[in-house]
Amino acid sequence: MGLPLKLTRQLRSGPVLTTHTKAIEANTKTFLDAVNPGDIERSHDALAKSTPHIMAVVKGDGYGHGYTWVAEAALNAGATWLGVTSFAEAQILREGGITHTPILSWLNSIEVDAKDSVELGVDIAIPGLEHLKSFLATCAPPEKNKSERRARIHLQFDMGMARDGCAEEYWQTLIQEAAKAHNDGLISVVGLMSHLRNSGEKDLEDNALAVKKMLKVRALAKAVDLHPEITHLAATGAALTDPTTHFDMVRIGAGLVGIDPSETLNLIGASTLTAPVIQHRRISRGETVGYSRTWTAPADTNLALIPVGYADAILRKIPSTAGVQIAGKRFNIVGRVSMDQVVIETGDWEVPLGEVATIWGPGTDSEPTIHDWAIWEDTIAHEVVTTIGPRIARAVTD
């Protein structure tokens, strides 16, 4: 449970993560351009004449940027679907006022109920026979089940991750059983989906294997008179680097908030994390800072205290090169990161109390970015933005 979304003056005066909707819109447009069939080659795809849909993947609180803020910005800019991993996340979007956009949830327990999915208007990914049977048992009988009230499913196939999705040996049976239920009027099979195992890298050779498998899945479906409207495979990386994977829809998560795992484009960072300086002091050469005295002042200097720590967004393991920006200047974090605070060295400058430190931002003013933090925290930017603690207040701006 995070802090209240309504930013009181008190909340605003502490650490705040601000989501930038214009950045999300601009990033969404970049993906619309990337999947435009005008400039791409998708010769295997009979539907190559139409532009693939963009699904805005907003799982994990919109990659830490706010479920509905990211969803609405992406939809404003031309995304037409939303993707999450659970029924609960879909419910947050519906309760947040997104009433009509199709939503797909793809990591559901076997207990997910067809009637609930119809009521909430959420499509359910079905990753195997057990899930299909259990789901069908919860469907309304066909005579009561007009097509607009049928639960909508996407068959989900594993293509080499041994993670979510149906193992290849069961593809044919899953498709046959799903086709029967579809043709009996129990459910609507609207999608065929999988995920690339080298989703983050530009790996055309490995992607080609998955594309071939996806075509096999489509052929198996066609053979039993099943014709789902949407085939979808690619996420951010392949959407930007490999048109052969685009099919009818691409599922974009990281890219919306400015993360391009394929490192082919400079997308725009969609958040700024700030916190005020709440104390300052001058120390003498030889004095130490923080727990276990891991940093000793090499000369007389000034320090400033910022109230964020490892309970918020700053990992304890960061190196001495990690820093924040105040008034256009970069200052390094010194000493151990505590649960709730870090100390920065500000040299000759006694930073006035209340001065705002930018921990990260889009990078337009040479402030640190989530990519710098990913390097400092020895991880990927996805983890930086999805592990921001609940004490950080949230704000949204354009």
Residues that bind ligand PLP (CB under 6 A): 57, 106, 195, 199, 235-237, 251-255, 261
CA 21/CA 169 separation, integer angstroms: 44
Closer to ligand PLP by Cβ: residue 262 or 369: 262
Helix (H, G, I), strand (E, B) or coil at 64: coil
Of 217, 236, 235, 237, nearest to 227 by C-alpha is 217
Q: How far is the CB of 237 from ligand PLP (least distance, A)?
A: 6
Q: 25 vs 28, 72, 79, 94, CA distance in Å?
A: 5, 9, 9, 20
Residue 146: CB atoms within 10 Å: 10
Token representation of residue 22? 């214009």
Q: Torsion angle, CA of 206/214/163/166, rounded to 10 degrees?
A: -150
CA 26/CA 251 separation, integer angstroms: 16
Closer to ligand PLP by Cβ: residue 332 or 386: 386
Q: Select the residue whose beta carbon is closest to ligand PLP and give its number.
A: 253
- Side chain identity at residue 100, one-letter code: H
Q: How far is the CB of 153 from ligand PLP (least distance, A)?
A: 15
Closer to ligand PLP by Cβ: residue 58 or 181: 58
CA 108/CA 86 separation, integer angstroms: 6
Q: How far is the CB of 106 from ligand PLP (least distance, A)?
A: 6
Q: How far is the CB of 133 from ligand PLP (least distance, A)?
A: 23
Closer to ligand PLP by Cβ: residue 28 or 236: 236
CA 394/CA 346 separation, integer angstroms: 27
| Catalytic residue positions, numbered | 59, 291
Q: How far is the CB of 232 from ligand PLP (least distance, A)?
A: 8
